[in-house]
Chain A
Amino acid sequence: MNHLVVYLLVSAVLFVLGLLAVMSRRNAIAVLMGVELILNAANINFVAFTRFSSTTLDGHLVAIFVIIAAAAEAAVALAIVLNIYHNYQTINVDDAASLRG
């Protein structure tokens, strides 16, 4: 059994779990956590592909960039969540629907 497939399977499971969390959870914090899962699934893929197909460290670098971007994203997103809470007294994403057409 090819080792790469194992990594990809883990990553796919992680991605689907994250996607499910983003799409089904109503709590904004839980949605953010789902996003983290998706990002990390992508990181696993990057690292795995680099390990098995290349002699360079490109994937690792991208993974590190993703971790930094995720940290920044989490900081901004949590600030938005706080503001939503200030305005709506809730962090239920369904209630923050004032852009509805």
Chain B
Amino acid sequence: MIIYAYLILFLPLLAFVIQMFFGNRLPRRGDFVSISAVLLTLALAIALLAMVLVFREPGFHSQSLFHWIDIGTFQVSLGVYLDNLSVIMLFVVALISSLVHIYSVGYMQGDPAYARYFGFLSLFTFSMNGIVLSAGFFSIFIFWELVGLSSYLLIGFWYQKDSAANAGKKAFLVNRIGDVGMLIGIMLFWSAVHSFNFETIFGAVEGGSLAGTTLTIAGLLVFCGAIGKSAQFPLHVWLPDAMEGPTPVSALIHAATMVAAGVYMTLRVFPLLTAEAQMVIAYIGGFTALFAATIAVTQNDIKRVLAYSTVSQLGYMVLALGVGNYVAGFFHLVTHASFKALLFLGSGSVIHAMHHGLETVNDHETDPQDMRNMGGLRKKMPVTYVTFLVATLAISGIPFTSGFLSKDAILAGSLAYAMAHPNHFMLPVFGFGAAILTAFYMFRQVFMTFHGEPARPEVHDHIHESPQVMIAPLGILAAFSTFLFYVLPSVNPFSTHGWLQSLITKPATVAGESTTAAAEELGHVLHLAHEPAMLISISAAVLGILLAYLFYQRKVLDARAWAQRLSPLYQLSYHKYYMDEIYSKIIVQPFLALCRVVAVFDMEWYDKVVIDGFAGVIRGVSRASRWFDDTVVDGILVNGVGKIVVFAGAVIRLFQTGRLQNYLMMMLFGIILIFAFIVF
């Protein structure tokens, strides 16, 4: 099985390398390389899933480790970790990734950077599989940053547009804030346990090497990474902007898989979270779920509505984890992956058609993503409409869909938590409030896009259904958005005991007795909360749909008039609670001002005084030493020796007349001198 895991991990990396170096030279610009790699990955993931389904062993796990760094006492192991959680997650990632790859063939047709696009998709698939297969904090952090990188590359894929380039930067920087917290959390665990491996850490924490408040803080710091990556309040601001990327990318990365990585990572470290940490997490998730839903209600950009809806649904998952409803959190992650990917791909199909229609009538000004320009697309794009509707029903939590099953489980969990801890009655309120709003804004979107009269009849005439290659993934995802796949082996659409629940069980906490007690307490009340939660959630969904129907289909209630009436709230929601403006004012602007001050200091003081001054001193010294060299060494020593030799030569050469008689004369004088010397 481990070899399968390694293949799943590295096949997409191989495809990425091939695409980057040879993509443009291959036939079809190499899309088949990435697609075949991801389809192989899918086949292997299905094989793994089949194996664990045959085992049906909730505690199954298997890991393969090798030492990567081994310096004295500092040892880092890398490797893959397989258990039911990672196998199911691998299947989800591979499935969505494969469908998005295939869909992209149609959506990205003719893009000048077609090969680069598929390369980046492969890089992303590799990194995401890496997160899923990580056996420890060290490797999860590496892949965590790699998905961040591929997300950055794909958001800014059309980097010629300033808005896309800026959105990429924003996503990267905002994620970095969360990652710093995560890194500090990882270091806390390292300093206490001296290991990055999850199993080792769980064992050591159970043995008490990290406990109490420190453990709570360490757990929350690690969760900071999830706040950034899963776009939880207050770091959710990057996700709506990330919609600047190509729509299939939004479906894959910013809806189904990467943003769920935060939730997945929290699931991985779940045993380490103390009851206090879980409570904070529950509030963050619950608040995010409601908060993002209120923004989604007033947005007009088809993708932005979905982006806020993603933030809201991720809030649900985090809420589920916070209240200790581990299985429901993961279940929602799985179901959400398919219906949200379906919504994004459906919106991509609409945008594709709108873009084409607008191009045909030579309108390059109108935004093809603005729902106010759509309407009545149902008849023109029947497949997109039907699949989109299935996903909308799923996200709204209508029975017979996958979303109903998972959302109901989450809401039951939060209700049970409130029953066990009456002080925290706000958590189910967040949950059910968000459920009403979800149904409302999703059906608002359906009515505005597919129903009613066309807002632009001349464009509407040129709208066509998208090509087969884009429609087929929609159909497959729609099938995965119904209840059937998730309740197997039963066929009861209200079953809460499908194969997933039998494979995934909540791991025993290692965070101390109080946390264990809290978990047990929740288990007692959970079944009591199930039926009321189901009733409330269905009524909430119906209420939301009814409101949307009255506002946007029948137009009995006038949306504009209500917006006027609730003007302050409407404005607040429409402007996303001014979060971007607030961040800009209190963080970005002061930071830029500080940068400017530092820049002036750097340019005016440091460069001019220190750097230039130092250079001046060096030049002075150089000049002096040059003078010494020229004058003393060269002038006196070197040339002096030469001059002496030349002078001596000039004198001595006078004696060398070449006349024998002169020499003889000198000999005579010499002899006379010698005689004189001897005699006297």
Contact = CB atoms under 8 A, between A and B. Distances in A.
B517 interface: no
Contacts of A23: 661, 664-665, 668
Contact of A99 (B655, B656, B664, B668): B656
A100 B665 contact: no
A19 B668 contact: yes
B653 interface: yes
Nearest to B662: A23
B665 A97 contact: no
Interface string B644-660: 00000000111111111
A93 B661 contact: yes
Question: By DSSP majority rule, is chain B's interface helix, strand, loop, or mixed?
Answer: helix
Nearest to B660: A93
Interface string B630-656: 000000000000000000000011111
B658 A97 contact: yes
Nearest to A94: B659
A83 interface: no
Contact of A101 (B653, B661, B664, B665): B653
B659 A22 contact: no
Contacts of B657: 97, 100-101
Contacts of A93: 659-661
Contacts of A101: 652-658
Interface string A59-101: 0000000000000000000000000000000000110111111
A52 to B, nearest CB: 23
Interface in B365-412: none
Nearest to B649: A101
B656 A22 contact: no
A26 B652 CA distance: 25
A101 B663 CA distance: 13
A6 B661 CA distance: 30
Nearest to A28: B660
A31 B661 CA distance: 9
Contacts of A19: 668
A33 to B, nearest CB: 14
A94 B668 CA distance: 19
Contacts of A24: 661
Interface in A15-31: 19, 22-24, 31
Interface residues of A, number: 13
A17 B7 CA distance: 118
Contacts of B664: 22-23
Interface string B224-236: 0000000000000
A76 to B, nearest CB: 15
Nearest to A22: B664
Contacts of B653: 101
Contacts of B659: 93-94, 97, 100
Contacts of A94: 659
Contacts of B665: 23
B228 to A, nearest CB: 93
A54 B400 CA distance: 156
A13 B471 CA distance: 140
Interface in B500-540: none
Contacts of A31: 660-661
Interface in B150-177: none
Nearest to B664: A23
Contacts of B654: 101
A98 B661 contact: no
A31 B653 CA distance: 25
Nearest to A24: B661
A22 B658 contact: no
B661 A99 contact: no
Nearest to B654: A101
A101 B656 CA distance: 5
A93 B656 CA distance: 15
Contacts of B660: 31, 93
Nearest to A25: B661
A43 B380 CA distance: 146
A100 B652 CA distance: 12
Contacts of A100: 656-659
Nearest to A96: B658
Interface in A29-45: 31
A23 B666 CA distance: 11
Contacts of B655: 101
A22 B664 CA distance: 9
Nearest to B655: A101
A24 B661 CA distance: 7
Contacts of B668: 19, 23
The CB with the most chain B CB atoms within 10 A, among A96, A98, A99, is that of: A99
Nearest to B665: A23
A65 B655 CA distance: 35
Nearest to B656: A101
The CB with the most chain A CB atoms within 10 A, among B654, B656, B658, B668, is that of: B658
Contacts of A99: 656, 658
A94 to B, nearest CB: 6
B431 to A, nearest CB: 116
A48 B518 CA distance: 146
Nearest to A101: B656
A81 to B, nearest CB: 12
Nearest to A23: B661
A94 B658 CA distance: 8
A31 B664 CA distance: 12
Interface of A: 19, 22-24, 31, 93-94, 96-101
| CB-based closest 4 A-B pairs | A101-B656, A100-B658, A97-B658, A101-B653
17 contacts: A22-B664, A23-B661, A23-B668, A24-B661, A31-B661, A93-B660, A93-B661, A96-B658, A97-B657, A99-B656, A100-B657, A100-B658, A100-B659, A101-B653, A101-B654, A101-B656, A101-B658
Interface of B: 652-661, 664-665, 668
Given A94-B659, A100-B657, 11 more contacts: A23-B664, A23-B668, A24-B661, A93-B659, A93-B660, A97-B657, A97-B659, A99-B658, A101-B652, A101-B653, A101-B658
